[in-house]
Structure 1
């Protein structure tokens, strides 16, 4: 795991998980342990990331298209195209497309554990090949700890 080598991922070479709407760019093994990154296309009305928090990782959001509804602690906010957000460790958050169009978001997690296998598991869940309960069993492995949020449960579409 080298920390001094550039990482280049050409669009044509990135792994695409179509059911989950995720394109994988670089994981911690590729970046010398520094970060993991991916792009997600979130569809309106489709479940996205439920309330969760990361104990070790900070998560960066950059909205490329559309708008994103985000639970941030106990508040709901909406990010628009070009908006940037960093969620520090131990901060409850969730997100989904807001409005009537797809939302495309670039994500970077720093101080993260390897996450690509989490997204591959998520792809199998979306395809109906495995049960969603399996995701909850991987909380420590991927630093993705699901939580309850009354604010998120009572949000308006």
Structure 2
């Protein structure tokens, strides 16, 4: 696979819905944090929300809960709810890091101070998408790596209350979502809203591999307001 153009990578559209948000983050060797992260260099956790990260290029050292590990390209990481996480750039290659958080209710977004001891405990499951189809999942995400051979099609009538995010890791994927259609190249992604019929097809002569994230929101359609104050 070719090197990712980080400037073009960071211009991909933001995913922003009540059940899910996501974006393509870029980190260049001359920066001290992700260049296009509006939060800035702030360690944090997500209250009652899970985050996944897919490292498309480069290397990152990530502290999540009670684990600290260096991850490489192709690694898919699950950051459980209420677990502190922080990042460090490693190596010399620009980093392309795709992140998705669910749910995206206003009360689940960021917790940036007054961390409690339990936020520094526990493990962060991870797997490499080129080595297995079974990716870490939890109550907020059902994650899989899927390969379609040339001419093969996957059709989904509707997902009643779940959102879906498709991220192509290798090859090209023809997508029809509702009345819209197009082709996703490697390291491009698409958010498919709930109740939207969609079809994924490999129209090329090579296998295509992609990450499928089905977001299952355990809250009501408009979220539930917690009884405590979230910083």
Counterpart in the other structure of 2:20: 35
Out of 112, 117, 125, the position equivalent to 1:146 is 112
* Residue 44 (1) aligns with residue 29 (2): yes
Any residues of structure 2 matched to 1:70-109 within 5 Å, and which? Answer: 70-109=62-101
Change (3 A) 1:56 1:24: farther
Change (3 A) 1:50 1:76: farther
Counterpart in the other structure of 1:6: none
> After superposition, what is the alpha-carbon deviation per residue over 1:35-86, rounded to whole angstroms, capped at 9, x for unaligned?
1110011123533243211103211100000011101113321110000001
Counterpart in the other structure of 1:55: 47
> After superposition, what is the alpha-carbon deviation per residue over 1:127-153, rounded to whole angstroms, capped at 9, x for unaligned?
xxxxxxxxxxxxx6x72111489xxxx
CA distance in 2, matches of 1:105, 1:56: 22
Query: Could you say what secondary structure the match of 1:70 adopts?
Result: strand
Counterpart in the other structure of 2:61: 69
| Deviation of the 1:113 alpha carbon | 3.1
| Deviation of the 1:23 alpha carbon | 4.2
Change (3 A) 1:87 1:22: farther
| Deviation of the 1:24 alpha carbon | 3.6
CA distance in 2, matches of 1:80, 1:59: 18
Structure (1/2) with the larger helix percentage: 1
- 5+ long unaligned stretches in structure 1: 1-17, 115-139, 150-157
Counterpart in the other structure of 2:102: 110
CA distance in 1, matches of 2:13, 2:48: 20
CA contact (8 A) 1:92 1:147 kept: no
CA contact (8 A) 2:19 2:105 kept: no
Query: Could you say what secondary structure the match of 1:84 adopts?
Result: strand
Query: Could you say what secondary structure the match of 1:77 adopts?
Result: strand
Of structures 1 and 2, the one scoring higher in RCO (CA 8 A, sep 6+) is: 1
CA contact (8 A) 1:57 1:143 kept: yes
CA contact (8 A) 1:44 1:96 kept: no
Task: Kindly name which structure, 1 or 2, has the bigger radius of gyration based on alpha carbons.
Answer: 2
TM-score, scaled relative to structure 2: 0.38
Aligned positions, number: 100
